Copies of this chain bind each other. A is one copy, B any other.
């Protein structure tokens, strides 16, 4: 490689970020993600947690499973689901196979709400849709590598 090209390469290539710098950027990104999510949920009078639960209910699941996915004690889920149910966004259905289990199901209104929250998030993170195929693959790989 010629000296000229080496110098050009040196000038255009920025120094790679340190792991500490990436950690900082991850912190900002995570905060930004939840800020968007909280705003989108708030537009429907929902808290971040309530929005999270709606988002998890792509299919009905037991209270216990919700607690595991939210990484919180099962007793908390009772209150969160209570408040969602009071607004007719979800309902509890006793499992016929094991009457101890209550499956939480999105109502039609709940489905509509989660749809709107997702749409709003998509609008906010427009940059995600503007990535080309190569960038999407790279982003997927890197996220999967750091958060396996």
CB-CB under 8 A for A27 and B55, given A122-B19, A142-B142, A146-B127? yes
Bin the interface of chain A by size: 35 or more
User: Whole-angstrom distance between the alpha carbons of A144 and B35 in the complex?
Assistant: 16
Known: A14-B137, A28-B147, A29-B30. 19 other contacts (CB 8 A): A16-B133, A16-B134, A19-B122, A19-B128, A20-B118, A22-B131, A22-B136, A22-B140, A23-B125, A23-B128, A25-B140, A25-B143, A25-B144, A27-B37, A29-B146, A30-B33, A30-B34, A127-B148, A135-B142
User: Counting CB contacts under 8 A, is A80 at the interface?
Assistant: no
Identify which of B27, B28, B129, B138 contacts A142 (C-beta below 8 A).
B138
Smallest CB gap from A25: residue in B: B143
Smallest CB gap from A33: residue in B: B30
- Is the pair A129, B29 in contact by a Cβ cutoff of 8 Å? no
User: Counting CB contacts under 8 A, is A26 at the interface?
Assistant: yes
Q: Which 6 A-B pairs have the closest CB atoms?
A: A16-B133, A30-B30, A16-B136, A32-B147, A30-B33, A29-B147
